[in-house]
Structure formats: structure tokens, C-alpha cells
Amino acid sequence: MNESGYSFAETILAMGIFTLLCTSLLPITYTMKTNLLNKKLEVIAAETAYEGIKQYQAKQQTEGTRTIEQVDYHWIFDGQDVCVRFQNTRELRQKCINVNGEAHG
């Protein structure tokens, strides 16, 4: 019996391996996507802090809010630092930048 094609057992085995690969990649891709989104939010927060410093220098404005992609970034300047509060995918975060441009927090 020399038939061409795959047997039922080979097909089931191949589908099992394919399913295993797909289910093992899903958590990895989810984690990567979440980490990338959190990094993006941190960058936007840093940009907001720098914009806050500009607003203070131009108009003596000490606080403000900026909304980007349905996330509110509230910044406050206390004379030394500009701190930005925002919600990332897990928690409420605060990022502070001093007037020299050094980030902390």
C-alpha cells in the first residue's frame, strides 16, 4: 500500500504541535505588547513634562493636563521638578523631571 498523503495520526500530531506553538507564543506576544505600550506612555509623560517646563517658562503656568490617546497626563511644576501623573496598563504612575532635564520617579 503505497498511498500518497498524510495519515490521520500524522495530521493529528501536526495539529497538536501547531496548537502547542500557537498557545506558547500568545503569552509572549501579550507581554511584549503590554511592555511596549507602557514604554510609550512613559515617553509621552516625559514629553508632557518638558512641555510643562516650556509652559512655565513662557506663561508662568504651574500645572496643566494633556490628553493623548484617551490617557490624561496631569503635570505640576513645584519650582524644582515637573511631575506628570498618568495611568498605565497596571497602575497610576508618576514621572518627574527636574529643570536640568534629568528624569526620576
Q: Is residue 77 part of a domain?
A: yes
Q: Is residue 3 part of a domain?
A: no
Predicted confidence (pLDDT) at residue 104 exceeds the cutoff of 90 = no
Predicted pLDDT at 3: 67
Q: Is residue 2 part of a domain?
A: no
Q: Is residue 59 part of a domain?
A: yes
Structural domain for 41, as ranges = 8-104
pLDDT, tens digit, for every residue of 25-75?
889 999 999 999 999 999 999 999 999 989 998 999 999 999 999 999 999
Q: Is residue 1 part of a domain?
A: no
Pick 99 or 13 by higher pLDDT. Answer: 13
In the block, residue with C-alpha cell 495611568: 87
Q: Which of helix, strand or coil describes residue 83?
A: strand
Instruction: Count up the domains in the chain and report the number.
Output: 1
Predicted pLDDT at 105: 65
Pick 1 or 98 by higher pLDDT. Answer: 98
Q: Is residue 58 part of a domain?
A: yes
Q: Is residue 51 part of a domain?
A: yes
Give the mean pLDDT of the chain. 90
